[in-house]
Amino acid sequence: MGTQLTTTRTDQPDGPNPRPLPPVEQARRGRRTGRGEVSLLGGMGHLALFFWAVIVVVPIIWVFLASFKNTTEIFSSPWTLPAELRWENWGRAWTTARVGRYFLNSVIVVGCSTFLTMLLGSMAAYVLARYKFWGNRFIYYLFVSGLAFPVFLALVPLFFVVRNLGLLNTHTGLVLVYTAYSLPFTVFFLVAFFRTLPLSVAEAAMIDGASHTRLFFQVMLPMAKPGMISVTIFNIIGQWAQYQLPLVLLSNAKDKWVLTQGIADISVNAGYEADWSGLFAALTIAILPMIIVYAIFQRQIQNGLTAGTGK
């Protein structure tokens, strides 16, 4: 009986035992699949950022345009351009509503508190990051725990503490409170940044006879400039927009109110006097400085946030 030879094609993908693809082809297909997933996630991320930008930018533009309208235009045609640029709205908000005075108070308070925050926070962060001593980790976690403590829970005891110190209704008391509440984030951020700085530079400075103080202020602090700028901008924005603390600590000193208190007072009066254009002008005056600051230092902020991970 003759034997019949049969051949089975193993290169058919639908057969019972398909031949495996070469490693090069498998890697190529894996890369294509990975690129497809990344592009899909990237597209979804860009779409989410677009909607977020619309949610943030559109109200700001609307407030800016409303600051040049009168009350009739604001309510009758809120989404149209103003018929004319009414700069008197800004002048009325600056003088009659005393926004100029509140603006100056905010600049003084935020400037002093930010300076103290960065000075004390950078020194504390440097010591915690570069020196090993008993209780180092405990002090660090004590600072970090302040990030999880809500401000409104401490308003009542804080009021009595500031009053007992004789600093109630003063800018000094508000500056100290701002500094205390800004230190946890400042220390948390700068500790991680100081740890990325090279030890060789500090060792060379010490060998040359530099003291610990001189090493910090003349060597390490300039090297930490990107991180310092980033934290400074974040502190300025956060303190500029603070409302609860000045509301409690400056309640009976209207001449020392900051900008957020002044705008809140204008909004309350607008319900009775109907000066909505002055209110939107005051809001624009409060918003513009922070937008300008962020636009100027945007690159420095990005460099500071990425410098620690790039070293």
pLDDT digit string, tens, across residues 84-130: 888 998 988 898 888 899 999 999 999 999 999 999 999 999 999 98
Contacts of 288 (CB under 8 A, 6+ apart): none
Q: Of 40-44, 67-71, 110-114, which range is least confident?
A: 40-44
The structure's pTM equals 0.79
CA–CA gap between residue 184 and residue 191 (Å, rounded): 11
71 pLDDT band, cuts 50/70/90, is: confident
29 pLDDT band, cuts 50/70/90, is: low
CA 148 to chain centre: 16
Token pair of 256, please?
């020392």
Give mean pLDDT, residues 69-80.
85
CA–CA gap between residue 277 and residue 62 (Å, rounded): 12
Above pLDDT 90, what percent of the chain? 31
Give mean pLDDT, residues 210-218.
87
State the pLDDT at residue 16: 53
Give mean pLDDT, residues 304-309.
60
Scored b (16 or more CB within 10 A) or e, 189-205 reads bbbebbeebeeeebeeb
Give mean pLDDT, residues 3-17.
48
Give mean pLDDT, residues 214-231.
88
State the pLDDT at residue 295: 83
Higher pLDDT among residues 119 and 293, named by residue: 119
27 pLDDT band, cuts 50/70/90, is: low
pLDDT for residue 310 is more than 50: no
CA–CA gap between residue 92 and residue 31 (Å, rounded): 63
